[in-house]
Amino acid sequence: MTTVIDTHCHLADAKFCGDVEAAIERAHEAGVAQIVTVGAIGAIENDRLTVEIAERHANVYAAVGVHPHDAKDCTRERIAALRELASSKTIVAIGESGLDFHYMHSPAEAQEASLRRHLELAAELELPIVIHCRDAEARIVEIVREVGMPRRGGVIHCFTGDTNAARDFVALGFHISFSGILTFKNARAIRAAAPTIPDDRVMVETDAPYLAPEPYRGQRNEPAYVMRTLEVLAQLRKVEVAAMGAQVIANASLLFGLGAFPENQ
DSSP string, 35-72: EEEE--SSSHHHHHHHHHHHHT-TTEEEEE---GGGGG
User: 263 phi and psi, to 5 degrees?
Assistant: -75, 150
Domain membership flag for residue 87? yes
CATH number (domain holding residue 81): 3.20.20.140
| pLDDT attached to residue 1 | 86
**Cα–Cα dist 55/36, whole Å:** 12
Flag whether 262 is in a domain.
no
Beta bridge partners of 175: 155
Whole-prediction pTM value? 0.96
Evaluate whether residue 263 is within a structural domain: no
Q: Is residue 45 part of a domain?
A: yes
What does DSSP say about strands 91-100 and 154-156: parallel, antiparallel, or unpaired? unpaired
Question: What pLDDT does 260 receive?
Answer: 55
Among 133, 189, 135, 198, smallest CA distance to 159 is for: 133
Is residue 47 included in any domain, yes or no? yes
Residue 264 included in any domain: no
Q: What percent of the chain has pLDDT over 70?
A: 98
Domain count, the chain: 1
Closest of 2, 43, 4, 29 to residue 206, by C-alpha = 4
Asked whether residue 169 is domain-assigned, the answer is: yes
Which residues are CB-contacts of 260 (< 8 A; sequence separation ≥ 6)? none
- 118: containing domain: 4-256
**pLDDT per residue as tens, the chain (265 positions):** 899 999 999 999 999 999 999 999 999 999 999 999 999 999 999 999 999 999 999 999 999 999 999 999 999 999 999 999 999 999 999 999 999 999 999 999 999 999 999 999 999 999 999 999 999 999 999 999 999 999 999 999 999 999 999 999 999 999 999 999 999 999 999 999 999 999 999 999 999 999 999 999 999 999 999 999 999 999 999 999 999 999 999 999 999 999 754 443 3
The answer as to whether 23 is a domain residue is yes
